[in-house]
Amino acid sequence: MPQTTAHSTQTPEELDVVIVGAGYSGIHQLYHYRKQGYSVRILEAESDLGGAWWWTRYPGARVDSESPFYQLSIEEVWKDWVWTERFPCRDEVCEYYQHVERTLGIKKNIRFNSRVVSAKFNDTLNRWVITTKDGFVVHPRFFILAIGAASKPHTPPFADFQSFKGICIHTASWPEGLVTKGKRVAVIGTGASGVQVIQSIGPEVKHLTVFQRTPNYALAMQQQKLDKEIQQKSKRLFPDMFRRCRQTPNGFSFDRYPKSLHVTTPEERLLFFEDLWTAGGWRFVTNNYMDIFSDQAVNDEAYFFWRNKICERVHDPVMQEKLAPTSPPYPFGSKRPSLEINYYDVFNQPNVDLVDLTQCEISRFTPSGIQTADGVEHTFDIVVLATGFHTFTGPYTDLKVQAADGTDILEKWANGVYSYLGMTVHGFPNFFYMYGPQSPGACNGPTCSEVQSDWIVGCVSHAMKQCFTRIEATREAEIEYRRLILELNARSLSRSTSEPTNFKGDLAQYGRLCLEVTDDGYRGFVFSSQVESRALL
Ligand code: NAP
């Protein structure tokens, strides 16, 4: 009988697999393990399904991926579901998750309100010892982290931050019922959340000041209502569509245009750009000329087409320069562009200002607002921090993942991230993570998570069928993978000068690499079967 821990009097459950997180990644994992008859449980910190969509409640929250691609490829689920809009809002995504529950009945395998605080590998048991905040302990053979990249909000260390007497909120924890109408509001940050909040509350607030560090090259969403019957008819194509999504650079069924911009005439490229713009969404980036990310001149041409579109919408030349500078501040499409509906129109309103933080920094917070470097004090009722997340290794700060000798994964990564395939780590056996450091980044979330999920399920099943109790990536394999990550980063127009966070190749290339590893007898992994001893636990 296993001993209980200091935290709990409960006898630890012994399971084949424990997954953390009930978003797309976690549910896809659960579905496949259950199908194969393994004992499995999801531990979810929140009280319902949906992952980030469950707690993302800021006004205007909406998916930036087109709806057919933003769903699970599980037939039982998609066959009876239709979306109402091309780019669904947060509430519709949450409703979709309830449809997943009605179809698959997964909640019985999920323990909600269970925030995992520690996970340590036990070398004797060859199992993980996982503990939640409320003292629940579980001992799975395999431990899967499916918590996404954006689970730890980033609040910049602004001077005198606590002195502000008004309401200050992060987009990750938008309070129910907060009224912005008629209020003086600041929004700091113009990333994915910032753009959506700004265009949603901009038309109704008394005054809005946007603090922008880097302009967002936001693209026209071209939102549409969707017809139920047309969607139902298109479902015969879904199996091919989902397969095709894995064969493209960004996880959608469409690809870059197989032609260089240099072999086209100015008329041809103008009409082509117009077509992509009208198609809407990310197509102006994903379907553009094949050399858009390898040739700076091509990239610049796309930038100036985009800039002209924005300048047609924004009336004031000073505002135009802030939102769409004459000189591109970074390569076009190298940072995730938002999709907008009325974002640029908001900046034509007389009650909307934009502070360009590259020209005038935030000096400090004051009891009534924010003081900038030019000495001006801006007064606000509400400050919205749309400042994003600690996206790289951030989720691992609160959820401690430890090797058998007590080494924390963040200690291991202190001098550079080493992983194998952006999913496994040497020294941390029987552990897999999804959509984290060194995983593909610039792609449709559900496609990427299913590519990884299928690979992990295959690897775990292989181990279970062969009665291996332990799988571990070799040090050599992760050194080799890191070399690839650095090489891809160096070749990319969006290369980072610091630690590259993601696999910067195409999703299709990543998928092929994972399959090669499998076909090569799980190259880079050591499998072993050690007899369990319970003596030390
Ligand atoms: P984000 O896209 O990383 O944007 C953060 C913003 O805050 C950036 O504009 C950043 O400027 C700014 N910022 C950070 N620190 C700052 C500082 N000290 N002073 C001033 N500005 C600062 O974060 P997010 O909007 O929360 O989105 C995070 C991720 O969640 C996205 O990448 C996306 O994957 C996901 N998301 C998706 C959707 C969707 O599908 N519609 C919606 C929301 C979120 P810099 O650019 O200069 O760093």
According to the 3-state scheme, what is the secondary structure of 134-145?
CCCEEEEEEEEE
pLDDT in tens, 219-244: 999 999 999 999 999 999 999 999 99
Q: Whose Cα sits closest to atom 23 in ligand 1?
A: 388
Measured CA distances, 425 to 238, 251, 429, 476 (Å): 34, 25, 7, 11
For residue 289, what are the contacts with CB-CB under 8 A and spacing of at least 6?
Answer: 256, 257, 259, 260, 261, 264, 269, 272, 298, 302
pLDDT in tens, 235-283: 999 999 999 999 999 999 999 999 999 999 999 999 999 999 999 999 9
| Nearest atom, ligand 1, residue 335 CA | 46
Place of tokens 């090569």: 520
| Nearest atom, ligand 1, residue 65 CA | 40
| Nearest atom, ligand 1, residue 336 CA | 32
Report whether 351 contacts 207 (CB < 8 A): yes
How far, in Å, is the centroid of ligand 1 from the Cα of 490?
24
Sheet with 167-170, strands from edge to edge, namely 167-170, 382-385, 184-188, 207-212, 352-356
Classify 430 in phi/psi space as left (phi over 0), alpha (psi -120 to 50) or beta.
left
CA distance 298 to 167: 45
Most ligand 1 atoms within 8 A of CB, residue of 25, 387, 444 to mutate: 387
| Nearest atom, ligand 1, residue 190 CA | 9
| Nearest atom, ligand 1, residue 214 CA | 47
Name the strand (E) or helix (H) holding 75: helix 75-78
Q: How confident is the model over 502-517, as a mean pLDDT?
A: 96
Q: How confident is the model over 76-101, as a mean pLDDT?
A: 98
Q: Whose Cα sits closest to atom 28 in ligand 1?
A: 388
DSSP secondary structure letters along 235-250: GGGHHHHHHHHTTSSS
CA distance 214 to 189: 8
Q: Whose Cα sits closest to atom 35 in ligand 1?
A: 192
Which pLDDT belongs to residue 343? 98
Q: Which has the minimum average pLDDT: 63-67, 155-159, 247-251, 438-442?
A: 438-442
How far, in Å, is the centroid of ligand 1 from the Cα of 172?
11
Q: Whose Cα sits closest to atom 18 in ligand 1?
A: 156
Query: In this model, does residue 91 exceed pLDDT 70?
Result: yes
Instruction: Return the percentage of the chain with pLDDT > 90, whole number.
Output: 90
Q: Which residues line ligand 1 (CB under 6 A)?
A: 62-64, 150, 156, 171, 188-194, 211, 213-214, 336, 357, 386-389
How far, in Å, is the centroid of ligand 1 from the Cα of 195?
9
For residue 217, what are the contacts with CB-CB under 8 A and spacing of at least 6?
Answer: 303, 306, 324, 332, 333, 335, 337
